[in-house]
Structure formats: structure tokens, C-alpha cells
Amino acid sequence: MRRLPILIIFALSVAACGSSKETKGTTSTTTSSSLQAFVTAGNKVCQDTDKRIMSLGRLTRDPRGWAKTADAARSGILAMRKVSPPPDRAQAFQRMMRYANALALSIQEVRNALVKKDIDTAAAAQLAAAQFLNKVHETAKNAGLTFCQQPLTNWPA
């Protein structure tokens, strides 16, 4: 995460040595390449996490599936924390990460309630998780992470 500000400062200091025309080109190239790197890295995390979750199969009332899904969500969050957004996407990215954390907690709540055979609480937690998932998709779109805005298909109907 610290590498991005250093690259931007370096690019700006190099650009300051040239004419204003050179500054404009260098800054937009740096911004464009950092945005492309961010989108590529973020989308890869989403794809890898989605593949991992999809390989678990359809979710049921069995708490083991929900535990594995919660583990996959937490792993995805840890991987996504290594992705550095460009400054103009940082706020949307941070909001997405907050919703992703809430989603993982809600999935864990479903699992915990199913262990206790508390179907009402599990259903409420599943509803909350679905709402957080929608927020993750919405904020991913705002951050420019195109793959991350797609819905998962293993949620029970």
C-alpha cells in the first residue's frame, strides 16, 4: 500500500523537471497505469474468492458450508487488503472493504445460528449478509472493480 504514494511522488517529481506538457503526460500515464493495476489486482482477488466459494457448492442449513464460506470471505478480504487503490478510488475502495467485513461477519453469524439450530436468527443473518453483498457490489462498481460487482450464484433461494 505504501508503494503507490511513493510512485506518485516520484512521478510528480520527475514530471516537475520537464515542461508543463511533459508533466501532463507523465501524470496521466501514472494515474492510468495505477488505475489499471488496481482494477486488475482487485478483480483477480474477486475472481479467486468467487471460484473458491463456488467450489464449496450450494449453501444449505448445514453450518459447515457457511463456515467454509465465511473462511473464504475472510481470505478474500485479507487478499484485497494488499491491493492499493489510486487516490481517486480510495474512498470507494475503503467503503467496499467495510461492507465486505460486515458481509463476512454476517456469514459467520449464519453459521453460528445454524450450529445452535436457531433458524430465525440464521435467516435474519442471511438477509443481512445479502444486503451487505449488494453494498459490496455497489461500492465495487464505484471503485471500478468490474468483476467484483457481479453476484455470486451459490446463495440459497
String of DSSP letters for the chain:
--HHHHHHHHHHHHHHTS-HHHHHHHHHHHHHHHHHHHHHHHHHHHHHHHHHHHTT----S-HHHHHHHHHHHHHHHHHHTT----GGGHHHHHHHHHHHHHHHHHHHHHHHHHHTT-HHHHHHHHHHHHHHHHHHHHHHHHHT-TGGGSPPS-S--
- pLDDT, average across residues 102-121: 97
Q: Which of 40-54, 72-86, 92-106, 138-152 has the lowest mean pLDDT?
A: 138-152
What pLDDT was estimated at residue 31? 62
**Looking at residue 16, what is its pLDDT?**
36
